């Protein structure tokens, strides 16, 4: 469990590519610069997709981890 406090949470559990990235884009538009989005995913593709999406889009991946097939990302909006 992370100590990071997210401003918003997106749960994409059970969904697969392209939906986690599609929904992450939508969720990120709803928060302000500097705020943090917590993303929950079960698609292993997100392990590569979310970090590279952060690099391309100017957001910061603060922390990620996985446990029992559940992947968690904390992304600060740039």
Partner 1 sequence: MKSLAIVVREDGYDKLLTPLAFAYLQGAEGTQVDLLFVNWAVRALTEEGAKGQVIQGEHAAQDGWVRQQVEKAGLPPDIYDVIQALKATENVNFYACSLASSIFGVNEDNLIPEASGIVGASWFLNEKAAKAEHCQYF
Q: Which residues are catalytic?
A: 17
Q: Does residue number 52 form part of the binding site for partner 1 (CB under 8 A)?
A: no
Specify the residue for token string 């603060």.
Answer: 62
Q: Is 39 in the site for partner 1 (CB under 8 A)?
A: no
36 belongs to the binding site for partner 1 (CB under 8 A) = no
Q: What residues contact 53, with CB distance under 8 A and at least 6 apart?
A: 21, 24, 59
Answer yes or no whether residue 4 interacts with partner 1 by CB under 8 A: no
Q: Is 26 exposed, middle or buried (0-12, 13-18, 19+ CB in 10 A)?
A: exposed
Stretch that binds partner 1, among 2-10, 13-21, 31-39, 68-76 (CB under 8 A): 13-21
């Amino acid at each position: 469990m992370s100590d990071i406090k997210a401003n918003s949470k997106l749960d994409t559990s059970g969904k697969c590519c392209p939906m986690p990235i599609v929904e992450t884009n939508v969720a990120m538009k709803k928060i302000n610069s500097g705020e943090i989005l917590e993303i929950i995913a079960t698609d292993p593709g997100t392990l590569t997709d979310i970090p590279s999406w952060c690099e391309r889009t100017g957001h910061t991946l603060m922390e990620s981890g996985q446990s029992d097939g559940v992947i968690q990302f904390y992304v600060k909006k740039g």
